[in-house]
Amino acid sequence: MPRLTCIMLALMLLAATPATAQVSTNSRVSNLAANAAIGAILAAARQVFGRHKFMRPIVLGALGGAIQGAGRQVAAGRSTASGFIGRQVSALGISATYSAGADSLVLIAPVWLVTFEVRPHQQNRFRARVNLMDFAFVTSALIEGRSLDVGSSLVAGAPVFTRPIARTDVEAGYTRMGVIFLLNGTPPALRREVLSHEAVHLLQWDAYNQLVANPIERTLVRGVPGGGSLSRFLDLGVLSPTSALLLAQQIPYDRQPWEREAYLLTTGRPTAGPH
C-alpha cells in the first residue's frame, strides 16, 4: 500500500498541471484541499461503520480526495482526451478513498457504461458492473434518434450525444448521470468549454456513485433474495439520481457546490447563472 500511495501522489502532482490559464494557482490548491477534506470525511464515515482503524483511513481518504480533485482539473482542460485522462486519474483517487474503508485494496476504473473493479487480495479479483440507469439513458437517446458525438465521447471518456435546440433550453449542455448531452448549433469555443464543464460533473458523479450511493444501494439489494449475485454485475443506479435531485432542489443554482467547482475549473470563477 505505501508504494501505491506514492504512485498516486506522483500522478496527482503530474495531473495538477494547469489545464487552462484562467484558473489561478490558489484556486487549484484550494480545490485540491477541499476535495482532500471531503475524501477524509467519507473515509472516516466508512471506517466508523466498518469498524476499521482510524488514522490510516483518514490519511488515505484525504489523499484519494486530492487525487480526485486533480483528475477534475485535468478533465476541465481543453487538450485531446483530457476528460478521459482526468476520469481515470479521478478513478485512482476514488479507489484510494474507497479502499480506506474497505478490508482490502479495490481498484475502480469506469469506462463508458461499465465500471471495472480489481480486488487483488480476494478470490474473485475481477468484476465488471453496468449501471442500469446509465444504460437506460443511452438506450433512450438512441431510440429518440440522438446523434452520438464520437469525437466528444473520446474526449470525455463517456457517451456524448447531441440534441436539437428547443425553446425551453437555457443551457448549452447538461449531464444526466453518466451521459453528456450537448445542443446542436453551439459555437465551437463555447461547445468545448461546455464539454469540459460537463466532464467535471461526470467525475463528480463517479465519486458520488462509488463512494456514497452505490455502497448503500448494494447493501439494500443484497438483502433481497438473489440480490447478492445481481449486485456483482449490475447497479440499479436509482438512489444516486433520486438523492441528488432532492438535494439540488434545496440549494439555489449559483450556490450548488458541484456547479461552483465545475465553473471554477473551466472559467476560473464561480458563476451565478447557467451556461
Tell me what pLDDT residue 86 has. 92
Compute mean pLDDT per 10 residues along the chain, 275 residues long, and list them. 46 45 80 89 73 72 91 86 90 89 79 85 82 87 86 87 66 82 82 88 92 87 79 84 87 87 84 50
Task: Using CB atoms within 10 Å of the CB of residue 51, give its burial: 0 to 12 exposed, 13 to 18 middle, 19+ buried.
Answer: exposed
Q: Where are the domains of the chain?
A: 2-129+192-267, 134-188
Could you tell me which of 155, 16, 9, 19 has the C-alpha nearest to residue 92? 9
Tell me what pLDDT residue 52 has. 55
Tell me what pLDDT residue 166 has. 57
Please tell me the pTM assigned to this model: 0.83
Tell me what pLDDT residue 16 has. 44
Tell me what pLDDT residue 182 has. 87
CA distance 275 to 272: 10
